[in-house]
Structure 1
Amino acid sequence: MIKLIFVHGNIFVYDIEDWSALRKAHRIVGNIIGSTSSIPSLPLKLMPEEALLLVEKELASIWENRNTASELPDPAANLEDSLLEAQQKEYRQLRKRQLLCLIDNIVEKRRSMGDHRSKEEILNDEINKSSTVTKENMIWPIFLKDPIQSLSAISTDLISSQTTTLRLVIFKDLWQRGYYITSGEKFGGHFLVYFGDPVTYHAIFIVKCVDSETTFSPTELISFGRLGVSVRKRAVLASIKNGKASYMTINWIDA
């Protein structure tokens, strides 16, 4: 079963195999929020609706690490220094192996410039000049497992309070229809809906969840409809009628 980790009100996935299963087998996309500079990386942050759906379908369970920072074991407090020391040793050895292949040419050039130190001294000098690893340029690992192993299962109540029955019903209905779904916050809605994986497909709908008794002014309807046209997506109002999900598409037709 997929393990969802509850941290400060948010749901995360840290395991790469769980991430792969969510996306490929269950059409759960989430939002990758890792901090690497070149490519997206874990952890994956899930919307409340995604997490609740997974729990309801018995595909995942929610866990929380109840340890505080002050309870962490001493080795964790020295993690940065130990990582730095290990990388300094490793890179120095790597650089030494590289320079040994070039040392004869380096020594010859140094001799021509009046440097008559021994080969070993010149080698150490070159290593010291080109093998500096600091806290600013060191490589940090991406942690995918909790070494403390102190997770406790929690109920879905904390997650349910972050969404509404309406949004959950609409999300589940769209998911059951075979769509991929992501957050629509950036486009003025609740969800973006895709025919396939967002990596290869553009969103086709911007879905805004509204109460079935909600009254809209003409200006509000026009604004939402034009928004959909401007980003080449259909603007959809979603509500619950007679206990079922109901949808209304706003089509903007130029005169």
Structure 2
Amino acid sequence: MIKLTLLKDHILVYDVEDWISLRKKHRIVGNIIGNTQFIPSLPTKLLPEEALLLLNKNLAALYEYEDVSEPSTDQSLQAKFEETVLYVQQEEYKEHRKLQIGSIIDTIFEKKRAAGDKRTKDEMLKNMVDSSSSINKNNMLWPIFLKDNTSVSKLISKETILPLTTPLRTAVFQDLWEKGYFITNGEKFGGDFLVYFGDPVVHHAIFIVRCIELETTFLPKELVAFGRLGVSVKKRAVFASIKNSNISYITLNWIDA
């Protein structure tokens, strides 16, 4: 059972095995919002529609934690913790830079020696690492320091996240998912969802889907704008609505005269 964590209005997945299962077994992509010094990392944030699909299919359970946002009042403990984290990041980044520069230090050494530099290879490597791996409190990855939390997670109902979406969006997402597509957030392209034939890592989106109520009216220029948007990004612009308890799709095809 995949564990979903509700934190304020965010639905998060922290476990790497759950994340792999979501992607490989269930075609749920989410959006990785964590990061290390170098690469994105967990947690993954799910769309409300993704979470509701998992809950409706009994593939996941939704939990929340109490008292996880109250900062520590012990300033000395917080300062000590931050100093420790800063030191660890500094040492880790130096090792990373040492490996990077070390892989090309022979070439650098030869060129600098030819230019009259008298330093040894080890001295050059150390100087370059020190000068290119400065991390301080202004550019470090800052942790969120919390008080010691002894509360346990509690199972909560999916009704908790219903206000985060609409029945129409939920129904459209589930219908597209059951047709075998991958679906992601479509806001950056002016829609509700982006739809893919396969995993977004190796496929481009083919549809921009905008969910509308059946009785919605548009000005002609609004239809033109959405259709032209689809053409400009090489995707089909699609309206989705519910008609007679079924999902109905209308695709805007742009044909130049």
Q: TM-score, normalised by structure 1?
A: 0.74
How many residues align? The count is 217
Please point out which of 171, 174, 180 is paired with 2:182: 180
Deviation readout 1:184-219 (Å, 9 max, x if unpaired): 000010000000000000000000000111122211
Q: Which runs of 5+ in 2 are unaligned?
A: 95-125
Q: CA contact under 8 A between 2:185 and 2:192: conserved in structure 1?
A: yes
Q: Which runs of 5+ in 1 are unaligned?
A: 93-125
Cα distance between partner residues in 2 of 1:208 and 1:132: 46
- Corresponding position of 1:107: none
Instruction: Find the structure with the greater CA-based Rg.
Output: 1
- Corresponding position of 1:47: 47
- Corresponding position of 2:253: 251
Superposition pairs of residues 114-153 of structure 1, within 5 angstroms: 135=137, 148=150, 150-153=152-155
SS in 2 for 1:236: strand
Superposition pairs of residues 180-199 of structure 1, within 5 angstroms: 180-199=182-201
Matched, 1:66 2:66: yes
Cα distance between partner residues in 2 of 1:47 and 1:212: 23
Cα distance between partner residues in 2 of 1:85 and 1:39: 20
1:16/1:76 CA distance change after superposition, 3 Å: farther
- Corresponding position of 2:173: 171
Please report how far the alpha carbon of residue 53 of structure 1 lies from its aligned counterpart in structure 2 after TM superposition: 0.6
Amino acid at match of 2:5: I
- Corresponding position of 2:18: 18
Please report how far the alpha carbon of residue 23 of structure 1 lies from its aligned counterpart in structure 2 after TM superposition: 0.5
- Corresponding position of 1:27: 27
Q: CA contact under 8 A between 1:194 and 1:204: conserved in structure 2?
A: yes
- Corresponding position of 1:101: none
Q: CA contact under 8 A between 2:67 and 2:149: conserved in structure 1?
A: no
Cα distance between partner residues in 1 of 2:93 and 2:219: 66
SS in 2 for 1:38: coil
% identity of equivalent residues = 58
1:147/1:132 CA distance change after superposition, 3 Å: farther
- Corresponding position of 1:236: 238
Q: TM-score, normalised by structure 2?
A: 0.73
Deviation readout 1:107-141 (Å, 9 max, x if unpaired): xxxxxxxxxxxxxxxxxxx9xxx699865677889
1:88/1:216 CA distance change after superposition, 3 Å: closer
SS in 1 for 2:154: strand
Cα distance between partner residues in 2 of 1:55 and 1:208: 23
Which stretch of the first structure deviates more once superposed, 38-47 or 16-25?
38-47
Please report how far the alpha carbon of residue 81 of structure 1 lies from its aligned counterpart in structure 2 after TM superposition: 3.5
- Corresponding position of 1:200: 202
Please report how far the alpha carbon of residue 248 of structure 1 lies from its aligned counterpart in structure 2 after TM superposition: 0.6
- Corresponding position of 2:109: none
Q: CA contact under 8 A between 1:67 and 1:150: conserved in structure 2?
A: no
Please report how far the alpha carbon of residue 149 of structure 1 lies from its aligned counterpart in structure 2 after TM superposition: 6.3
Cα root mean square deviation, aligned: 3.2
Please report how far the alpha carbon of residue 159 of structure 1 lies from its aligned counterpart in structure 2 after TM superposition: 1.0
